[in-house]
Structure 1
Amino acid sequence: MNRVWLPVVAVQGLWLRSTLRLASAPGGGVSGTVPGPAAEPLRLAVLGDSTAAGCGVTGDEEAFAASLAREVAARAGRPVAWQAVGQFGATSRRIRFRLVPRLDDDLDLVVLLAGANDVLAGRGPDLWREDLTGILAGLADRAHRVAIAGIPPFIRFPAIPATLARHLGERAAALDAVTREVCRQSARTTTFLEQPAGTPPADFFSTDRFHPSTHGYRLWAQDVAAQLIPDQPAP
């Protein structure tokens, strides 16, 4: 970003901190099971920040983890037992040392939702790489596969002023570049999940204009499930 805009970024950052009222109370459930044909359930965990915890919604079945479990069950044709371990404001450092140990063992898939708080806290690519590799090391004995979501595009957040959003987006892109590199190095067990393209619908965000709504989490879950289990081409 051009340095001439940095004073604007600073002012908008101060304004945002003084005015933003986030939905900090987790609204999603912490575990559940999606029924399916008689088979061994696929064991799924969603790990990360406030989006993993379900901030922005109020019902256990409305948040990302439960929505993703339903989408995965439908695509895989088998039951899914899911767990959500998330915390409002968690950076990758907190996830690495505080949240990973709370996960169950012998998981088929862990989806990591992280990075936004690292960007907001000014943590750069080197710290992100250190903690991301630490998270993956901690998951190595717990999960067969890990999928890491790209950082949500700040420019689409209605609560964030445009100039500040562009600045945050540039910092997020630097962290995402690290994530892609880390995923390429362990491509057999780790997948990078691209964020949905295009402009989200008007009802994608919750009332705090920062976290997803019920509809937003559902759309996000559909996109992630489609990347994890793509549609099979017609014969």
Structure 2
Amino acid sequence: MNPLLMPIVAAQGIWARKSIKILPPAAGPTTGSAGDTAGGTAVRLAVLGESTAAGCGVDAHDDGFPGSLARTIAERTDRPVTWEAIGQDGATARRIRYKLLPRLGEDLTVAVLLAGVNDVLGRRSPAQWTEDLGAVVDELGKRAEHVVVAGIPPFMAFPSLPGTLRRYLSQRAEALDAASRRVCAERPGALWIGSADIMPVGPDFFSEDRFHPSAYGYLRWAQGIADHLPLTAAA
């Protein structure tokens, strides 16, 4: 970005931090199930990451990304799905690596990582992101048959952010996404799925804080991820 625009970015960043009232994480159980238990071998799903894994924007995890993805997998495979969610609002890849990942279960079928927004906001470099992401993906690979790294949501679509700030954050997110693609390409069993291309972002996609997804937004995001999962990929 043009260095002359950086004072505008800084001013808009201060405005955004003061004006955006972020909704709290989802309440209630962080585990659940979907589908008919008589449908065959259960799919064990885990969702790990930042505020979207913590369910900010919805009242319960069942209405957030974990529950939405579990129901989508169950519907497409006719298999029961058990899920767990481990997330923290504000978590960077570094915190996920050292604080959240050790709490994750083992013998998983699918592990999905939702991360990157806070690394962008915290101005962490692609090198720092790559180091932490690689360690997280390596550990997830020991715990799950399939590891999915979801791309960073498109900042350009966030209605809560001013235009210049959105462009700046989008450029930083693109650099981290490029690093994510490399990390996953180097590891068999790891899959990077871009979020910008699969999110049909519209007015009803966001919750009332205009920063996190609504229940509908989480559902559409989960369905887009499921379209690319080895278990449920559309023909």
TM class by smaller structure: over 0.9
Corresponding residue SS for 2:53: helix
Please name the residue that 2:233 is paired with.
230
Q: Aligned Cα RMSD in Å?
A: 1.4
Please name the residue that 1:192 is paired with.
192
- Contact kept in structure 1, 2:51 and 2:87, CA below 8 Å: yes
CA, structure 1 residues 28+163, in 2 after alignment: closer, same or farther (shift >3 Å)? farther
- Contact kept in structure 2, 1:46 and 1:65, CA below 8 Å: yes
CA, structure 1 residues 206+28, in 2 after alignment: closer, same or farther (shift >3 Å)? farther
Q: CA deviation at 1:33?
A: 1.1
Corresponding residue SS for 1:108: strand
Q: CA deviation at 1:139?
A: 1.7
Runs of 5+ unmatched residues, structure 2: none
Q: Report the more deviating stretch, 46-55 or 32-41.
A: 32-41
CA, structure 1 residues 144+41, in 2 after alignment: closer, same or farther (shift >3 Å)? same
Corresponding residue SS for 1:21: coil
Please name the residue that 1:40 is paired with.
41
Q: CA deviation at 1:53?
A: 1.1
Please name the residue that 1:159 is paired with.
160
- Contact kept in structure 1, 2:42 and 2:80, CA below 8 Å: yes
- Contact kept in structure 1, 2:113 and 2:149, CA below 8 Å: yes
TM-score normalised by L of structure 1: 0.94
Q: CA deviation at 1:217?
A: 0.6
- Contact kept in structure 1, 2:154 and 2:196, CA below 8 Å: no
- Contact kept in structure 2, 1:48 and 1:85, CA below 8 Å: yes
Please name the residue that 2:17 is paired with.
17
Q: CA deviation at 1:138?
A: 2.0
Corresponding residue SS for 2:191: strand
Q: Write out per-residue CA displacement over residues 68-99 of structure 1, whole angstroms, 9 at most, x where no aligned residue.
A: 00001111221111111101100000100111
- Contact kept in structure 2, 1:65 and 1:83, CA below 8 Å: yes
CA, structure 1 residues 144+64, in 2 after alignment: closer, same or farther (shift >3 Å)? same
- Contact kept in structure 2, 1:27 and 1:63, CA below 8 Å: no
Q: CA deviation at 1:230?
A: 1.8
Task: Determine whether 1:131 maps to 2:120.
Answer: no
Please name the residue that 2:96 is paired with.
95
Q: CA deviation at 1:209?
A: 0.5
Q: Aligned partners of 2:28 and 2:195: how far apart in 1?
A: 21
- Contact kept in structure 1, 2:151 and 2:196, CA below 8 Å: no
Q: CA deviation at 1:29?
A: 3.8
CA, structure 1 residues 103+193, in 2 after alignment: closer, same or farther (shift >3 Å)? same
TM-score normalised by L of structure 2: 0.94
Q: CA deviation at 1:196?
A: 4.5
Q: CA deviation at 1:164?
A: 0.3
Aligned-pair identity in percent equals 48
Look up the equivalent residue of 1:69 and give its one-letter code. Answer: A
Query: How many residues were matched structurally?
Result: 231
Corresponding residue SS for 1:117: helix
Runs of 5+ unmatched residues, structure 1: none
Please name the residue that 1:82 is paired with.
83
Corresponding residue SS for 1:38: coil
- Contact kept in structure 1, 2:156 and 2:167, CA below 8 Å: yes
Please name the residue that 1:4 is paired with.
4
Q: Aligned partners of 2:233 and 2:168: how far apart in 1?
A: 33
Please name the residue that 1:66 is paired with.
67
CA, structure 1 residues 199+166, in 2 after alignment: closer, same or farther (shift >3 Å)? farther
Please name the residue that 2:105 is paired with.
104
Corresponding residue SS for 2:145: coil
Q: Write out per-residue CA displacement over residues 77-136 of structure 1, whole angstroms, 9 at most, x where no aligned residue.
A: 211111111011000001001111111111011000000000001101010001001112
Q: CA deviation at 1:25?
A: 2.9
